[in-house]
Chains A and B, each alone.
Chain A
Amino acid sequence: MANIARIPVREQNPKKRVTNFEEVCLGYSLEEAVAEAARCLNCKNAKCVGQCPVAIDIPAFINQVKQGEIAEAAKIIAESSALPAVCGRVCPQETQCEGKCILGIKGEPVAIGKLERFVADWARENQVDTVTTQPKNGKKVAVIGSGPAGLSCAGDLARKGYEVTIFEALHEAGGVLVYGIPEFRLPKETVVKSEIENLKKLGVTIETNVVVGKTVTIDELLNEEGFDAVFIGSGAGLPKFMGIPGENANGVFSANEFLTRNNLMKAFREDYSTPIKVGQKVAVVGGGNVAMDAARTAARLGAETHIVYRRSEAELPARVEEVHHAHEEGIIFDTLTNPTEVIVDDKGWVTGLKCVKMELGEPDASGRRKPVEVPGSEFVIAVDTVIMSLGTSPNPLISSTTEGLEINKWQCIVADEETGLTSRERVYAGGDAVTGAATVILAMGAGKRAAKAIDEMMSA
C-alpha cells in the first residue's frame, strides 16, 4: 500500500484563477478521499497526532474515511477541533502532522490536511450534527476577539455549558480569517461564516463593534457586566514598517491595509464601496504567508507583482504550497533583494523601490543564514505600489487599559503556556496576542487550553 502515490488534489488552472477570487484548491471527491485515506498505515504509535496542536485523532478519522464513514470521521475531528474546514485549508501540515508521517520518509506523506478539509466540507454540505453540549451552568465568560483563538475558546466553553459572549472590534466576526486570509484560500461565505454560525448554534453571543480597551474595559466586563472570566484572543494586529525614506508616500500600504480592504471590505467586488489602489506594478516586501496573500491578491487585481525578499527562496517563511501557487500565478520573485528607499515623484506618489542586492552570510540567531549587503549593487525596481508585509505585533489597546496585566518587551501579553492564565486573576489570553504573529492552528490550540483551564478554575 505504502508505495501508492499520493492522490493529487484538483486545483483551478493558474491562468484562469489569477483572474478571479474563487478558491484555488478544489478539494477531493469522495472517491479520491477514500483512495487517499487507504494510503494511511494506521500506525499504532502515530507520530502525526503529537504534531497536531489540537491533537486530532488522525488515524482514527482517516480510518473512517477509508470505510466511507465520513460522518463518523467528522465526529472524531470535532472532538478536538472547532474549525476543521479552516484548518484543513490553512494549517502548515507539512511541518506538523504530515511532517512526521511515516510514508513521508520514502515517499509522500498522507494528505492529512486535504482529508480533513474533505471531511469538514462533506459534513457541512450533508449537515452532519457534530455538536454535543452540556446543560447551561449559569456562568459567564467574555471572549475578546473572534479570530481562531477566540472562536475555539468560545466553542469549547459553550459546549461545557458556559454562557459565552464574544466581543469583536470590527463589524464582522472571524478576525484574521475574515480580514487577513483571502477568499481564494479560505472562502468566507461557505467556510468561515458557517463555522461562526455553528458557534452561534451552540449559544455563543457575538457582539461586534466593541473595541475592548476603548468601548469597554476588561475590568468593566468583570466588575460591572458580571463576567466570571475573560479570555483575550485579540491577535497581533499592528503592522510593522521598515523605517526607510519615502515609506509614507502615497502608494505605500501595509499588507494589513491592502488585505483588509480586499478581504473584509471586499474591494474586489463591484457592489461594495471600498476603494483600493493596486496600480500597474506592485512590489510586496516580505516573504511570509501574508506577503504571498498580498502578492496573489495584487495579481488578481491586475498588477504585475513582485515579491521582494532579502534572503533566498529557500528561506522564505511562507508555506511551500503558497510559494508554489504564487509562482504558478506569475508572481516574480526578487530574492536576495532588500529595499533601502521608496522613490517618490514631486506629488508624493511612489515611482520606484530602490533596493540593494544581498548575499547570505553566517547563520543568525534564527538559524537562517544572515543576509549581507553586496556593496555597490543598488538598483531601482519601477513600481507604483509598495506593500509592506514585514509582520505584525500585538495591539496595546487592551494591555494599556488593563491595570496589572503583564506584557513583555514585544508588547505580548504574558500568559502561562499550559493554562493561558495572565498576571491578572480570571483573565486568560492566547493566540497571537501572547505569541506574536503565528498560525491559525497554534492560536486555536491556545484557545482550547485556556477553555480547559477556565473550566477547571470555575469548577474548583
Chain B
Amino acid sequence: MQMYKIVEKINLAPQIYLMDVEAPRVAKSAKPGQFVIVKMNEKGERIPLTICDYNEEKGTVTIVFQVLGQSTIDMAGYEVGDYFTDFAGPLGEPSEFIYEDIEELKQQRLVFIAGGVGAAPVYPQVKWLQQQGVQVDVIIGARSKDFVILEEEMKALGAQVYVTTDDGSSGRKGLVTDVLKSLVDGGANYDHVIAIGPMVMMKFVSKLTAGYDIKTTISLNPIMVDGTGMCGACRVSVGNEIKFACVDGPEFDGHLVDFDEAIRRQTMYKTEEGRQMLAAEKGSHTGGCCGGKH
C-alpha cells in the first residue's frame, strides 16, 4: 500500500499549519488553482485541501490547513515522518490564466485578495504569474498580525503586497474591501480580481467589484466526498446553472455565484460535527467534518 510521508511541518500562525507531503504523482501534475483530498487513516474522512505549492523534483506537495474541526485537530497532531494513508489529486480545474497568452497577461493588471488561510491557494497562482514575468498585486487580509501568512514569500516573488488586519496590528486597519476600494479609487486600473478566502469575504469582494465592473474570480471550498464529480455534495448555483465545485471549479465567476446558498450549504453537517467534537472530548470518538476547508 502506498503511503504519503510528511517531510516538513511548519506552524505558520495560531492553528494554521503547513506540511510538505511526498506525493510524486500529484507533484508532477499539479497546477495553480487545484486542490487535493487527504485522508489521514483508515477510518478518517476525505478532507479537501488547498495546494499551496508543489515541487516535481522532490516529489512533494505543500498543503496548508486551519484547525477547524475534529479531523483537522487530528491532522495537526501529525508530525514529520508520519504518513497520510491517502492523498489524491490534483483535483479541479487549474486557474484559467494558465491557458492564456503570457504577453496578453502581461498587459493586464491583476490583483489577488487573500483572506486568512486563503493566502495559501493564492500563493501558487502569484508564483506562477510572477515567474512568467506577469507583475501582480496582492492584498492580504487577516484578523491580526499573528494570522498574516505567506507575506514575505509573496514579496520574495516580486509581488506588490498590501496587508490589512481587523485590529490594525499589521498593515492598515480594516477589511480587504477597504484596501481594494482605495486602490481602485486611487487609480489602480485592475482588469481582474482573484479573491480567495472566507465565503463572506468573497461575497463582499464580488459585490464591490460588480459595482466597478471588474472581472472577478473566486475559489469555493464546499463540502465534498470524492472530489471527482461523483457525489454532487459540492453543487453550487452559478448564474442559472448548477455546477459541481470539484470538477467544474473550484474557481468561478464571483459575479455569478449564489453565495448565500453556498454559505448555507457549508453548514450541512454542523450538528453532526458538534456532536462528534463533544464525543471526542469524552475520548470516545475520533470524528470530524466532511466540510472542505482551504
Contacts and interface: CB of A to CB of B under 8 A. Distances in A.
A, B from the same assembly: yes
Contacts of B285: 270, 273
A158 B90 CA distance: 30
A272 B46 CA distance: 12
A169 B29 contact: no
A270 B236 CA distance: 30
Interface string B243-283: 00001000000000000010011011100110010000000
A323 to B, nearest CB: 25
Interface in A235-279: 237-239, 241, 243, 247-248, 250, 253-254, 256-257, 260-261, 265-266, 270-277
Interface residues of A, number: 41
Interface in A272-307: 272-277
B145 interface: no
Given A208-B2, A211-B91, A253 B288 contact: no
B10 to A, nearest CB: 24
Interface string B74-109: 000000000001111111000000000000000000
A397 B237 CA distance: 21
Interface residues of B, number: 48
B276 A273 contact: yes
Contacts of A256: 230-232
B88 A265 contact: no
Nearest to A388: B232
Interface in A339-367: 347-348
B71 interface: yes
Contacts of A211: 88-89, 91, 227-228
A368 interface: no
A133 interface: no
B126 interface: no
A257 B233 contact: yes
A207 B71 CA distance: 25
B272 A169 contact: no
A371 B231 CA distance: 28
Interface string B116-151: 000000000000000000000000000000000000
A395 B227 CA distance: 12
Contacts of B154: none
B68 interface: no
Contacts of B237: 248
A326 B288 CA distance: 32
Nearest to A169: B228
Contact of A216 (B29, B226, B227, B228): B29
A248 B228 contact: no
B199 interface: no
B294 interface: no
Contact of A273 (B233, B236, B288): B288
B90 A214 contact: yes
Interface in B198-227: 225-227
Contacts of A209: 2, 86-88
B231 A257 contact: yes
Contacts of B158: none
Nearest to A210: B25
Given A214-B91, A248-B237, A395 B232 contact: no
Given A273-B44, A275-B272, A277-B269, A241 B232 contact: yes
Nearest to A171: B86
B55 interface: no
Contacts of A266: 43
B242 A248 contact: yes
A239 B230 contact: yes
Given A210-B25, A211-B88, A238-B230, A260 B272 contact: no
Please indicate which of the listed interface residues A247, A273, A397 has the most CB atoms of chain B within 10 Å of its own CB.
Answer: A273
15 contacts: A170-B226, A208-B86, A209-B2, A210-B88, A214-B29, A215-B25, A243-B242, A248-B237, A250-B265, A253-B233, A257-B233, A260-B226, A270-B285, A275-B276, A397-B247
Given A253-B232, A348-B264, 7 more contacts: A169-B88, A210-B88, A239-B232, A241-B242, A243-B242, A254-B233, A273-B276
Interface of A: 169-171, 179, 207-211, 214-216, 237-239, 241, 243, 247-248, 250, 253-254, 256-257, 260-261, 265-266, 270-277, 347-348, 395-397
